[in-house]
Structure 1
Amino acid sequence: MKIQNLEIKEVFESLVTSEKGLSEYEAKKRLHEYGFNEIKEVRRDSLYRKFISQFTHFLAILLWVASGLCFLSEYLNPGEGMLSLGLAILGVIFINAIFTFIQEYRAEKAIEELKKLLPYYVKVIREGLLKEISAREVVPGDVFLIAEGDRVPADARLIEANRLMVNNAPLTGESDSKIRNHQPFKGDSLESPNIVFAGTLVVSGSGKAVVFATGMSTEFGKIAHLTSGIEAGLSPLQREIIKVTRIVSFIAVVLGVMFFVIGTFIGKTFWHSFIFAIGIIIANVPEGLLPTVTISLAMGSQRMAKRKALIKTLTSVETLGSVTVICTDKTGTLTQNKMEVKKKWTLDNEVTSIKWLMRIGYLCNNASFDNGNYKGDPTEAAILKIAREDFKGEDIIAERIYEIPFDSDRKRMTTINIIDDGKFVLTKGALETVLPICNSIFEERGIRKITEEDKASLQKVYHSFMEEGLRVIAFAFKRVSGDFDRIKVKDENIESALVFVGIMGLEDPPRPEVYEAIRKCREAGINVIMLTGDASKTAIAIGKQIGLISENPVVLEGKEVDSMDDDILRSYLTSREIIFARMSPRHKLRIVSILKDIGERVAVTGDGVNDAPALRKADIGIAMGIAGTDVAKEASDMIILDDNFATIVNAIEEGRAVYENIRKFISYIFASNIPEIVPYIAYVIFKIPLPLTIIQ
């Protein structure tokens, strides 16, 4: 039986619990049975394995072989200095391994410090008593309380909800807050208004819920498990170093064999020619490449850290420099993740009508202003902010005597307030639900009957707001008689015959530095693709504001992507201007996989658990340090400490500088090692004394 379908009594029965919660004995028993309520880390190697891996990569193996050949040569022909060279090469291997390990260990410790900033306690009811426990000790059957600002500790079915709104962005990527209630729901659990999910945030109201899934059994955990099975593969730098090392090794061996044959042919003894061949091979091994690469990467990592980019693995520094595509989330990365009122409209835009618009926004509102901060649903907080500014920070005294809460069906909220000894019904909500319950409109000259011409003008303004990607909220009111008794009047009669006042257009504004960052990406040949859980109109509007797209971009939603095979999607991904909206974790992962298949070097940004699979699959995953979930941070290669897209572009600049330095050094190796063979050729052909010894 699906828990969202059940009545509250049936919920308690199915989970073998009650309103009084579990007993301490039963809670301990279930903790032993189900384990701690925590997400297992994405396959992290032990410190021992990480340290050992510094000695076993391809270039290190080549140096091990070179060192072994030095010791063999010293054994066969002592006194030529090969022992010192062999020990020096060993020193290079060990110093490099220790240095790299320390750098990556420090990065991990910095990530651990970030985790300590997250809340870990929850209020539960056990044996009828309210107590606070660690979130990791929550078990199925626990009854817990949530309120504004809390993080939901586990997947749970609501049994009480008081104006409860939850932001599911960490799970779904959608920035809109969702109204929650405790009524049974016939439908999918992910769409159910009576379910709250682990890791999501309470933006307003309060509630009580009973846990039905914890840890890896939550929706959060399921996506984390999906992430653990994804392999990102070798970084571009690792692939290039392996390629260069193989080429150098092949050239060294060929030259060694060639000079062994030449030495034997001109009458040198077998052992003399053999030792000299070993020397030639060792001379061509780039002993300096490993420490040079490591130092370059470490210095780049330190410079990035000063610019708010924390690198988890040193090779990610260079990977950034070779990125050709950035797949970025919208909310909080390209935008500021806070709503603000951008436009407002009344029929005549006169002072009196604007004042009424602000008065309704102030009073028909459950957000609050406390100690300089606005708290509550982001949309309501933005409306309260502009209303307080209009009233110059003065509080409006108007007792609220009744409220009809917002819900997803009605898409509006109504309060009854006493203003100057009069009772007023105040309503705000979606235009399509507010306008039909209005029969009048407000203007400076007074209230008059609303006409079709008024509605046409309003619809024109509404559509212009929508084209700009604004969220439109409508406002209305009416005065009721002094003897009005809300107990005797049905809600539908309260919300009728209202006076329409106006609308506000709100948006999550772009970060001011993003436009310039996008321009830099274009100049550097990097294509930026927006992958968002929000609606396409919102994504298009933001994309235009930040210079990401022009007038005719390719825009695809999740349902359209589902209907495409890989070949069709691949053809779309070659477009220079493309936006993906209503994206799920599965969609993001598929897009990143196809981009890599067509040869792109892909960076992916994200903050929610829904971004984790794509972060893991990308050539470099970039998580947000402030808004990022633990799962996203674990799956990433780099963490942006200020959640700013411009920081990513700065990090790419550093990465490209490191890449260029490494490329120059590799060119130097080939330019210097090959001429070193010339003295021996002269020695063989012209019978002159050997200008350089092998150790030189």
Structure 2
Amino acid sequence: MRLQTVWTPGHGTSAGPWAAELAHTASLCTTVTRTDEGALQGDPTETALVEGAADRGAPLDLAERDADRRALFRFDPRLRLMSIVQGDQGTGTLRVVVKGAPESVLPRLRTAADVESAREATESMAGKGMRVLAVAGREWPEGTEGPSKREDAESELTLLGLVGLYDPPRTEVAEAVRNCHDAGIRVLIVTGDNGATAAAVAREVGIGVPRLHVVPASESITDEELDRLLVEDDVEVVFARSSPETKLKVADALRAHGRIVAMTGDGVNDAPALHRAHIGVAMGRSGTDVAREAATMVLTDDDFATIVAAVESGRRVYDNVRKFIVYIFAHTTPEVVPFLVFALSAGAVPLPLTVLQILAIDLGTETLPALALGRERSEPGTMKRPPRPHRQGVISRDMLIRSWGYLGLVSAALVMGAFFYVLWRSGWSPGAPTGEGTALHHAYTMATTATFAGIVTCQVGTAVAARTDHAALRDIGLFTNPLLLAGIAFELAFTAALVYLPPLQQLFGTAALPWDVVALVATFPILVWGTDEMRRARRRHRQPDAGSAEPVGPVRSSGRP
């Protein structure tokens, strides 16, 4: 934020000694201090006033300011005023300096001579996105102690001028706002600034698409009007000249309408609204300790774009949890079906999978790929789909159908086909003995090994398919998750060791597979992935768009994006 424009009665915005004097006088009505390194610290508005005075050749000596100060009436968010009583050691006179919102200062003037021109200047500066402060003062009779009450100090004033402060939005905010709109997120502004100022900034960064509504005096808005504004999904609202109660009122109203609310803020007065919102977002650099304690999340860089990045990160984590679940659930079917076939055939079909082989799958081969899916990058279109219903659980009906009905059934059919292929080519028929010492025992061992190897290779296809819920594999790239590739390499190497190393063969009841069986199970990953890829392609054809968005937060509290 910086001091950009100074307006004085009779001179307008022209430069001159009167402009420097006004900047210096406005800087007197501050409480900023300096760090040990000499940097200014305190409210950004007041810091800009002190720096602006120095830029105009009227620097402020902070030590002298504090030494001459007789009284301080701190900024009141309801009055929107701050005032000080300053002494002059040379003359012994006292001077009151008041700064605040023009609509709060102008009615306290002694005369109305400059009121109309000041209002016109205020509207002009506010329309350019500037935060406008009016500066006024009065001389206190010599020899008196000065005012003891702020109502005495802040009355019968003489207008000294207006200062226009400009806080340019960060360059990345406009893109962040576009991402919010794409993701179905409404951005509302709740600010103490003038409505014209807030509206200009909102339009500059793209807030108000497709329609912007400005509430110039938010404190006076009725519950009915507030409800009407918040349920209109095609409008974004600027609540100007708001009080801390307004922020809390907006958060409560949004929650009452079933919206998920993220409220940002940095001041002590923002704490109730931050606490009441679903997600309170406090500023880490400029925020107060009270705001940080009341918030759910703290922005270490005070950047609005970080909120949008957090939304995308949250969606990515949520999606990856679902991918993990799909991957794990998909293996339930090919592990259960062999036991069902054995049970339903009353033993005529020997058990296609042993208990130790199931343990090798659950504890050995599927673990690393499952964990790697948790590190998957965001799927294309993640920030172009509407927010999910807040009552929706992690596990959905569509996930179960995909896991058990598509990936699981295809995998079960393939592994059972491999099992029967090995048995039938060895001359087995239903009911034929396959126990130890029989002629078909070695063929049965190879068949269970083929089932085991088939489930593992189906896991590979499932892992690749589970990387995306809607997009095609070509959209995310086959090699963009190196951890998954490493996990697949490990499970294949682990499977080969169990199949071909004699010590592990004896332990897990496996046998070396001939080349034709290896070639057969090697096709399983492509078949499993290909089946799911076709399902997703049909789904994309039927549902080309993500759907309509449900408006949610974040709701901007004070200051600028």
TM-score of the pair, normalised by structure 2: 0.45
Larger RCO (CA within 8 A; separation ≥ 6): 1
Question: Would you tell me which structure has more helix in proportion to its own residues?
Answer: 2
Length-normalised TM-score, structure 1: 0.38
- Structure showing greater Rg: 2
